[in-house]
Amino acid sequence: MTSIDLTTANPPEIYEAVKSMDSDEFDSLMEDPESRDLITRALVDHMAGLFRPEKAGDLEAVVHVKLWDRPGGGYDHFEMRIADGACVISGEPGDDARMTLKIRPRDLRAMLAGETGPRRLAMRRKLTVLGDLKLGARLPDLFAF
């Protein structure tokens, strides 16, 4: 079992800890709303850190990320703003998304850890892309998964 104090760890430390967890341990942490909030933020922050500005060119886009299976129902909702060669995360999404990604936290974790890829997840219906499908097809180029 991985030992980390989520309340004092920063997002990169949280990501490194959850990356090495087995599925059962990860799923168990995701059942606690406070732990889930910290972990989902760390996952989305890590995804933004994988952004490759050299591949984006002059792309400007708002992408919503919805993480399914929130305890009690619903999902966690984040926004990634891609502009001026940067990808910035917000926990306060607006209405203007060009594309929405729907994925379970465990699948996002696996994708970020290199255990699977976005195309494979989409083919297995574990990643849903809504909105601009051309932008969705560019995800593997825009982010170093």
Encode pLDDT of 111-126 as tens digits. 999 999 999 999 999 9
According to DSSP, the β-strands at 86-90 and 99-103 are unpaired
Contact 76, 106 (CB under 8 A): no
Predicted structure pTM score: 0.93
Q: Which amino acid is at 2?
A: T
Q: Distance (Å, rounded) from C-alpha 45 to C-alpha 11?
A: 7
Locate 60 and state its tokens.
Answer: 């400007």
Q: Which domains does the chain have, with CATH numbers?
A: 11-142 (3.30.1050.10)
pLDDT of residue 59: 97
Encode pLDDT of 50-82 as tens digits. 999 999 999 999 999 999 999 889 999 999 999
pLDDT of residue 92: 84
